[in-house]
């Protein structure tokens, strides 16, 4: 079945440093979504990417969808303590509404 | 954004009993809802897809007779964990999909079976 892996599994950064998580799917995706889950909370939708090579920005967050639509990345510039949490990518295949979640990257910030 | 609620948020039950978890879309209609399970520090694993007015579609390895799903209306889906055992203890999260195909997640239900 489809597998979605993320690296790194954990990332500790100093406040103000940048952070990147990478998402790789074993199959070509129709779209990819990103979610953030705070400790003790539930996943919160951040963004959806649909087009090959698409890049979207939300303030300090930059999301990319690979040309082959099998990988994606999330980059956070100048991290803040409010960025703490686990970031999940989730992809779906063409004609299939189900989301397969990535393994997640847990971000902790050192003040 | 769209709001999805879950009830209860936390439940402790004895082994052998059944527990019902409700998932409601509060301000939109959801023909499709999804039920996930999340173990501590792990990712979300899809258990089943709940479709209004029809039988749920279960993922491989998920026992449909143990995890009963009912999607009685466009705003409500329920998950019943029957004859719960300690290994069923987990964080159960539902999501509801709107017409734009975005999924909105409920706050989750933490089940502890003693």
| Residue A27 CB partners (closer than 8 Å, separation 6+) | A2, A70, A93
Q: What is the pLDDT along chain A (111 residues), one digit of tens a residue?
A: 778 999 999 999 999 999 999 999 999 999 999 999 999 888 998 999 999 999 999 999 999 999 999 999 999 999 999 999 999 999 988 777 788 999 999 999 998
Tell me the DSSP string of A29-98.
Answer: -SEEEEEEE-TTS--EEEEEE-STT-EEEETTEEEEE-TTSSEEEEEESS--GGG-EEEEEEEE-TT---
Partner residue facing A42 (CB), from B1, B43, B107:
B107
Question: Could you give the CA distance from residue A14 to residue B92 in angstroms, rounded to a whole number?
Answer: 33
Residues of B in contact with A106 (CB under 8 A): 41
| Residue A50 CB partners (closer than 8 Å, separation 6+) | A30, A31, A65
Report the percentage of chain B scoring pLDDT > 90: 74
Mean pLDDT of B102-114: 92
Q: Is the CB of residue B21 less than 8 Å away from at least one CB of chain A?
A: no
Which of A66-79 are b and which e, b meaning 16 or more Cβ less than 10 Å from the residue's Cβ? beebbbbbbebeeb
Residue-wise pLDDT tens digits, B20-76: 999 999 988 888 999 999 998 899 999 999 988 888 999 999 999 999 999 888 899
Pairing verdict, β A71-76 and A19-25: antiparallel
* Residue of A21, A3, A108, A17 lying closest to A63 (CA atoms): A21
Residues of B in contact with A88 (CB under 8 A): 43-44
Residue whose structure tokens are 């089940």: B111
Residues of A in contact with B43 (CB under 8 A): 88, 101-104
Mean pLDDT of B4-13: 96
Residues of B in contact with A1 (CB under 8 A): 60
Verify whether the Cβ–Cβ distance B44 to A101 is below 8 Å.
Answer: yes
Cis peptide bond upstream of A8, omega within 30: yes
Question: Could you give the CA distance from residue A85 to residue B27 in angstroms, rounded to a whole number?
Answer: 27
Partner residue facing B102 (CB), from A48, A101, A104:
A48
* Residue of B58, B72, B67, B60 lying closest to B87 (CA atoms): B67
Verify whether the Cβ–Cβ distance A42 to B34 is below 8 Å.
Answer: no
Q: Is the CB of residue B108 less than 8 Å away from at least one CB of chain A?
A: yes
State the pLDDT confidence band at B1, using cuts at 50, 70 and 90. Answer: low
Q: Which residue of A has its CA nearest to B60?
A: A1
């Amino acid at each position: 079945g489809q597998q979605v892996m993320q690296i790194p599994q954990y990332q500790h950064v100093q406040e103000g440093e940048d952070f990147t998580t990478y998402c790789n799917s074993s199959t070509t995706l129709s779209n990819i979504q990103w979610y953030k889950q705070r400790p003790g909370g539930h996943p919160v939708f951040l963004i959806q990417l649909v087009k090959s090579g698409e890049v979207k920005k939300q303030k300090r967050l930059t999301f990319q969808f690979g040309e082959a639509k099998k990988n994606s990345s999330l980059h956070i510039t100048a991290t803040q303590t409010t960025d703490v949490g686990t970031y999940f990518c989730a992809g779906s295949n063409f004609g299939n509404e189900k989301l397969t979640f990535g393994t997640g990257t847990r971000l902790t910030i050192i003040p | 954004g769209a709001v999805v609620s879950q009830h209860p948020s936390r439940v402790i039950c004895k082994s052998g009993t059944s527990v019902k978890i409700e998932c409601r879309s509060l301000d939109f209609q959801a023909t499709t809802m999804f039920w996930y399970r999340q173990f501590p520090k792990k990712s979300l694993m899809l258990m089943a897809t709940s479709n209004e007015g029809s039988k749920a579609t279960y993922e491989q390895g998920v026992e449909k007779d143990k995890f009963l799903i009912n999607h009685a209306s466009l705003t409500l889906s329920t998950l019943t964990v029957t004859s719960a055992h300690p290994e069923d203890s987990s964080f159960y999260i539902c999501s509801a999909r709107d017409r734009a195909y975005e999924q909105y997640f409920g706050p989750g239900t933490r089940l502890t079976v003693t």
